A and B are shown apart, each in its own frame.
Chain A
Amino acid sequence: MLEGRVAVVTGAGRGIGRGVAILMAQHGARVVVNDYGVSGDGRDPSSEPANEVVAEIVKNGGEAIAVADTVATMDGGARIVNAAIEKWGQLDIVVTCAGILRDRMIFNMAEDEFDAVIATHLKGTFSIVRAVVGHMRERGYGRIITFTSGAGLFGNPGQSNYGSAKSGIAGFTKVVSRDLGKYGITCNSVSPVAGTRMTLTDAYFKAREVRKAQGIVREERGVASIENLSPDDVAPMVVYLASEGAGNVNGQIFLCAGPSYALVSYPRPVASIFKESRWTVDELLETVPDTLMAGVANPAPPREEKA
């Protein structure tokens, strides 16, 4: 489905990005496998993960090169994009998977924990997209697939950095789709749920033990346990979005959890009140609870004080 195309996949040394790079190569794309090769929290760069994925693609008869550069700087983004154009003369597809985690409750989060996560995810998505859009616009063709997350779309405690970055990528995707659609370029975002080193952490397994001890077992409610959701299940959706046939799919977000794929809705007004003149605070105190907020629960209500 991607014969003749050239793709850049960031964060493709491991996890979801790896599966995307391999499937794209299987479908005929020549792939720049980008991975900075850092630990889950962004330390100790290494070119090994990218090289291993390239070796795997080449062994199976595909074409790929490794670029072990960071996406978090504009120069890094440009070098990754230029590697594809220099090698194969064109770049049709960019997929921005690169990311790190530094989870902490906001009242304890350090500034550098916020900055590092924003730099990798949000700036790292901008750096790649910004570097390639001129080329795509000139050629009148392009497919951009970014990665967002339920952590930002729905809100995960302990992830004010990651949730902000990922929700920011969703907004970025919506804007860029409108900036570039008329030039034959699409920009969509994937919100994956999968068991990878980013999600299957010590904290995750500890939290699961706590839930079990408290008798809260999500699996019994039919909720798939994240370690049973393969990262490789995400790749087919990305390959489809990257294909020529998906030319009219633009500005959308897709939730991919195993072989379950969902279109995510745009936010929309679900309850509204209207007045010809300005509202007063007294009027709102009287009106809002039974109108805008009817039936809406506090997602984290105050803890009962122990007697």
Chain B
Amino acid sequence: MKKHLEGKVAVVTGSGRGIGRGIAILLAEQGASVVVNDLGCSVDGAGQTAQQADEVVNEIKAAGGKAVANYDSVSEFASAKNIIDTAVKSFGRLDILVNVAGILRDRMIFNMSEAEWDAVIATHLKGTWNCTRHAAGILREQKSGRIISFTSTSGLYGNPGQANYGAAKDGIAGMTRVVARELGKYGITVNAIAPVAQTRMIASVPRDKQQAAQASRGIVTPKASAASTIGEPDDVAPMVAYLATDAAAGVNGQTFLVNGGLIARVSDPAPARTIVKRTRWEPEELAAQFPRTLGLDVPNPAPPKPTA
């Protein structure tokens, strides 16, 4: 088998477990030297241990690959710099950044605390920006690079109970579109993956609720639902490795949904239907026009409960 990432150096944040782990291992198999970054905290961000990152590094080395562990937090600007610097110090360069690190603190908006909001925004949104910011200078100078960030159907479509996570993840989708347009001309691509996989993060949500939510959003294809709906975390890695190859140089600013063997390119938001007037609208005429134009057949995703 030909290795497609020979000589490349990759940083994979949050790669001690779950989806990140599968990516680190596959990138190493493909010949990349990998910085396995993981803070080793619990799913809600508490506690820290070096164990997860070390185990993945050992696994990669045992299989003949090259890897070093890093235990820094992505959510602090300075410690995120350490993660990127580890790649340069250990392997002399940086080619690929994969932003996977994340935590969950689910709560309905009317009960969510400031701390729950801040922690999730800091890890996902600031964490992705921190690592991207520190990598951007290096990649721009060498005029090549691959950045792959992680968004979520929670942000793209809206999952109840995840105002923090949905905001962070749709924010990452926006960041990806912006940074793709900033760095593309320097030979760098920036793309996003929305994974659907059974990890410890998603394991806390009851299964049938997940399926019902997905079906209501129309994202379950007949084939995929027959294949039990939720993919394995390791199913996500091949698409990430593909995006990291030289051959994927033309793929930039895109978002891909990966669920098991189903991979889809997701459209950017775009105007779907438009109404135009020569002069300013009056709210009253808009109220008359709206239901038969912009609002036609657009369901309320959570209609009011009928009063008894």
Contact = CB atoms under 8 A, between A and B. Distances in A.
Contacts of B281: 233, 236-237, 259, 261
A284 B238 contact: yes
Contact of A300 (B180, B218, B221, B286): B180
Interface in A222-250: 230, 232-233, 236-237, 239-240, 243, 245-250
Contact of A167 (B30, B173, B241): B173
Contacts of B264: 269-273, 292
A159 B112 contact: no
Contacts of B260: 278
Nearest to B253: A299
A4 to B, nearest CB: 16
Nearest to A152: B174
Interface string A271-286: 1111111111111110
B284 interface: yes
Contact of A118 (B121, B177, B254): B121
A281 B291 CA distance: 47
Interface stretch (A55-63, A107-115, A200-208): A107-115
Nearest to B270: A265
B290 A262 contact: no
Nearest to B278: A259
Contacts of A302: 143, 184-187, 249
A155 B253 contact: yes
A216 interface: no
B129 A160 contact: yes
Contacts of B257: 269, 272
Interface stretch (A33-41, A92-100, A123-131): A123-131
Chain A interface size range: 35 or more
Given A249-B295, A263-B298, A274-B224, A175 B177 contact: no
Nearest to A248: B300
A111 B221 contact: no
Contact of B155 (A174, A269, A285): A174
B214 interface: no
A156 B182 CA distance: 8
A246 B158 CA distance: 20
B171 interface: yes
A300 B242 contact: no
B159 interface: yes
Contacts of A123: 117, 121
Given A107-B137, A266-B157, A273 B263 contact: yes
B168 interface: yes
A214 interface: no
B255 interface: yes
B125 to A, nearest CB: 6
A301 B180 contact: no
A195 interface: no
Given A261-B274, A292-B264, A300-B253, A171 B156 contact: yes
Nearest to A74: B114
Interface string B250-290: 11111111001111111111111111111111111011001
Contact of B301 (A137, A156, A178, A280): A178
Interface stretch (A9-17, A79-87, A181-189): A181-189
A157 B136 CA distance: 14
B91 interface: no
User: Most chain-B Cβ atoms within 10 A of its Cβ — which of A157, A168, A248, A272?
Assistant: A168
B43 interface: no
A303 interface: yes
A271 B265 contact: yes
Given A153-B269, A175-B109, A302-B185, A274 B283 contact: no
Given A240-B290, A268-B267, A259 B300 contact: no
B108 interface: yes
A68 interface: no
B261 A274 contact: yes
6 contacts: A1-B283, A118-B125, A183-B304, A233-B281, A243-B283, A249-B300
Interface of A: 1, 23, 27, 74, 105-107, 109, 111, 114-115, 118, 122-123, 126, 129-130, 133-134, 137, 140, 151-161, 163-184, 186, 230, 232-233, 236-237, 239-240, 243, 245-255, 259-285, 288-289, 292-293, 296-303
Given A167-B175, A263-B295, 10 more contacts: A105-B182, A160-B182, A171-B170, A175-B155, A175-B159, A184-B304, A236-B286, A246-B287, A279-B239, A292-B263
